[in-house]
Structure formats: C-alpha cells, structure tokens
C-alpha cells in the first residue's frame, strides 16, 4: 500500500487537485490517500472543497488577512511537520507554483517523502514574473522526484535543467479533467445566484474579468481598471462582470475606480461551478489568471491575458490567448478588435486547446501504480 499525502492551499490548486484526489480514491486497495489543506486561502478554498465534496483529513487553517510571504512560508513548513510525522507518507503531492507548493515540497523533502509535482516544468525564466511563482516552481522542481508535466514544452524545460526524462510524465493539465467532469452538471443546474445575475445581464454581450497577480499590484491594477472603465463607457451595450479576488491589494483599487459604473458588476469570487457557467456565458474573457487561460479555450472563449510574459506559451502559439500586459490602450484595442471583427473573433474562438484531453489524472495514477516502492 502506497501512502500518499496530497497538499494544497489556494483556490486554483484545489480545483486542479480535486480530480486527482477522486481518481486516487478509486483505488483504495493500492493507495492510502490523505488530503492536507494549508488553507493559505480560506473562503475561496472552501468553495472548491464543497463543490467537489472533499473533506481534508488535515486542515492547517493558516490564512491571515493581508498575509505576507515570510510568515506564510514559515508557518506552512512548521505546521506540516506534525502532519508528516503522524501520517509518514511515502509520497507528497504538490501542485503548481504557490507558497503552499514551495513550502510543502520543502517540508515533504525534510520528512523523507518523495515529492511529486503536478503541473511541473512551467517557466518564464524571469525571476520577477510571475512573482513569486516562477521561483516557487524552480525551487519545487529541484526538490521533486516525479514531475507531472502538462505539455511536452514543459517537459523540455525540465530536461534542459538536467532532470532525468524517466522521472517526467506528460499528462495534460488536470484543470481540463476538472472542467470536463463539472461542465454538464453546471449547465444543467445553474445556481440561484447565477439565475439572478443572468436576468440582470438581460442577454447583453458579456465581458468576464479576473485579476490578482502580485506583479500587477499597484500601477498595473490602476492601468487595468482604467482600461475596463473606458471599455464600459464607450460600449454601453456591453456588460462587464468582475468577480473580485479577496486580496485587499486587489479589492481596493478595483472598488475605488470601477465601483460606480453602471454596466460593470463587481461581485464576490464565484464558486467554481458558477464561474464555469459565467465563462460559458461570456463572449470574451480578460484575465491574468493561469488557470482561466488554460480552461476557457475548452469552452471556445477568446482570452486576453494581462501579463507581460507567460509560462504558458502553448496557449499563445495555439492562438487561444493574446498577451496584452497591463497597457491600458492595448487592453482596449484588443477588446474592441474582438468585438468589432467577427472573423478575428471566430478564428480565436475555434482554436484547439493545447492543455489536455481530460485524462491527466488517470495517467498520473497509472504511473504511481507502476512505481515499485522498494526502488524509489
């Protein structure tokens, strides 16, 4: 029996790890699986746990309002110690690039567990963008024993860092597993919140916005908000829905600059199922989110990405996303181009999503089944 500890802490990690938890649970004779949440996020994490019906065996409950990277990193490492000593996992699974990912992989390494990294190998090679995620990924990559890369390009990044190819498996991104498993249910049973919002939108074309990146805090967010304000004022027929991330550094400028504009709806973060519904309803999505740019093209939605550089070049190459950075004029121009040029809109909406076929989790679990505990 292989003992597996799956650790995550933020909304996107939870969405991308949920289908993996479920897949492992299909094989109780081979895996003893426990889930530990650091709760780096609280409400935004709990929304996902509720939707996927995951009840963690360990909850470190670490989120503090306005937390910083120093305290959070230290707390995760310290608070994971008793969990690791209690369960003594053979393998610790971490996901992506957050502080939870980096600190949990350090703690797992200290405990002697083998580190397994989901969504491995993404790189910008720019230490400050995304900050601190690029370095979180690189640190996690050094500590990882088994790398589950979403694409061949992410595998190649790891090979260039002298990782043995036999320790890398290309899987697709588990976010597509989550989306495929959820989308039909979501369309069948929209929540009452969604029905109310849909009534308000009254069939108008919808621009869906999300944003939270640390490197955009400050001036970047001001430029983003100025762009959204101009778009809303110049295109009165458009409705803009913006579920605002709970980080106070995001909430403050967004509420201040966009609070009083009639066709901009600032709402709380949507539960995952409501957000899928909203993506499906949207005409265009503007975001700096990693996960959203991976999942939206599966629903045929063009995505404008508010980043200067990307660790997801596959999406740019596939033509499913366009990088607009935080340049006010560029955000406005690219939005208007999609609204006004039907051929351009159709072309972007019909491109193939490079991030997978929805079977990433079964590939990961099959790989884990094949591993011989005595030889790892």
Kindly give the pairing relationship between strand 31-37 and strand 58-59: parallel
- Number of Cβ atoms within 10 Å of the Cβ of 47: 21
State yes or no: is 133 an active-site residue. yes
Marked catalytic residue, from 245, 273, 312, 363: 245
Count of residues in contact with ligand UDP, rule CB under 6 A: 16
Is 98 in contact with 14 (CB distance < 8 Å)? no
Question: Which is closer to ligand UD1, CB of 39 or CB of 206?
Answer: 39
State yes or no: is 189 an active-site residue. no
- Asked if 220 touches ligand UDP (CB under 6 A), the answer is no
- Asked if 298 touches ligand UD1 (CB under 6 A), the answer is no
* Cα separation values, 74 from 14, 94, 102, 111, Å: 21, 17, 11, 16
State yes or no: is 198 an active-site residue. no
Supply the minimum distance, in Å, between the C-beta of residue 188 and ligand UD1.
27
Buried b (16+ CB within 10 A) or exposed e, 81-109: eebbeebebbbbbbbbbbbbbbbbbbbbb
- Asked if 269 touches ligand UDP (CB under 6 A), the answer is yes
Site for ligand UD1 in 17-56 (CB under 6 A): 40-44
* Cα separation values, 279 from 194, 206, 243, 268, Å: 12, 9, 12, 15
Supply the minimum distance, in Å, between the C-beta of residue 32 and ligand UDP.
28
Among 56, 89, 150, 291, binds ligand UDP (CB under 6 A): 291
Is 246 in contact with 324 (CB distance < 8 Å)? no
Supply the minimum distance, in Å, between the C-beta of residue 96 and ligand UDP.
7
Helix (H, G, I), strand (E, B) or coil at 88: coil
Supply the minimum distance, in Å, between the C-beta of residue 369 and ligand UDP.
27
Task: Map residues 98-117 to x or -, x wherever contact with ligand UD1 holds by CB under 6 A.
Answer: xx------------------
Distance CA 318, CA 90 (A): 38
Distance CA 34, CA 28 (A): 11
Residue 305's closest CA among 333, 326, 329?
A: 326
**Residues near ligand UD1 (CB under 6 A):** 10-12, 40-44, 63-67, 69, 97-99, 132-133, 212, 246-248
**Residues near ligand UDP (CB under 6 A):** 11-12, 15, 175, 210, 212, 243, 269-270, 272, 275, 289-292, 295
Active-site annotation, residues = 97, 119, 133, 212, 214, 245
């Amino acid at each position: 029996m292989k003992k597996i500890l799956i650790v995550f802490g933020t909304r996107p990690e939870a969405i991308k790890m949920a289908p993996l938890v479920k897949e492992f649970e299909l094989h109780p004779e081979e895996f003893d699986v426990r889930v530990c949440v650091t709760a780096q996020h609280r409400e935004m994490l709990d929304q996902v746990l509720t939707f996927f019906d995951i009840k963690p065996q360990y909850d470190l409950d670490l989120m503090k309002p306005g937390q910083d990277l120093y305290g959070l990193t230290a707390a995760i490492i310290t608070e994971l110690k008793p969990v690791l000593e209690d369960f003594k996992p053979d393998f610790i699974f971490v996901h992506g690039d957050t502080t939870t990912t980096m600190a949990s992989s350090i703690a797992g390494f200290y405990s002697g567990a083998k580190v397994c990294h989901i969504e491995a190998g993404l790189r910008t090679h720019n230490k400050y963008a995304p900050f601190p995620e690029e370095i979180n990924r690189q640190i996690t990559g050094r500590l990882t024993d088994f790398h589950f890369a979403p694409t061949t390009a992410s595998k190649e990044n790891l090979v260039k860092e002298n990782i043995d190819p036999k320790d890398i498996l290309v899987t697709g991104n588990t976010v597509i597993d989550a989306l495929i498993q959820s989308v039909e249910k979501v369309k069948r049973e929209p929540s009452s919140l969604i029905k109310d919002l849909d009534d308000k939108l009254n069939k108008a074309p919808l621009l869906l916005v999300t944003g939270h990146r640390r490197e955009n805090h400050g001036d970047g967010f001001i430029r983003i908000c100025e762009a959204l304000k101009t778009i809303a004022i110049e295109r009165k027929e458009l409705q803009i829905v913006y579920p605002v991330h709970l980080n106070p550094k995001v909430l403050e400028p967004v509420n201040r600059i966009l609070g009083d504009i009639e066709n901009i709806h600032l709402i709380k973060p949507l539960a995952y199922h409501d957000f899928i519904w909203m993506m499906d309803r949207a005409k265009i999505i503007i975001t700096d989110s990693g996960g959203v740019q991976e999942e939206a093209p599966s629903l045929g939605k063009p995505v404008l990405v508010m980043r200067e550089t990307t660790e997801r070049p596959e999406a740019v190459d596939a033509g499913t996303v366009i990088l607009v950075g935080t340049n006010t004029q560029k955000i406005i121009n690219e939005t208007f181009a999609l609204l006004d040029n039907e051929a351009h809109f159709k072309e972007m909406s019909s491109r193939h999503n490079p991030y997978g076929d929805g079977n990433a989790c079964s590939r990961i679990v099959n790989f884990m089944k094949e591993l011989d505990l005595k030889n790892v």
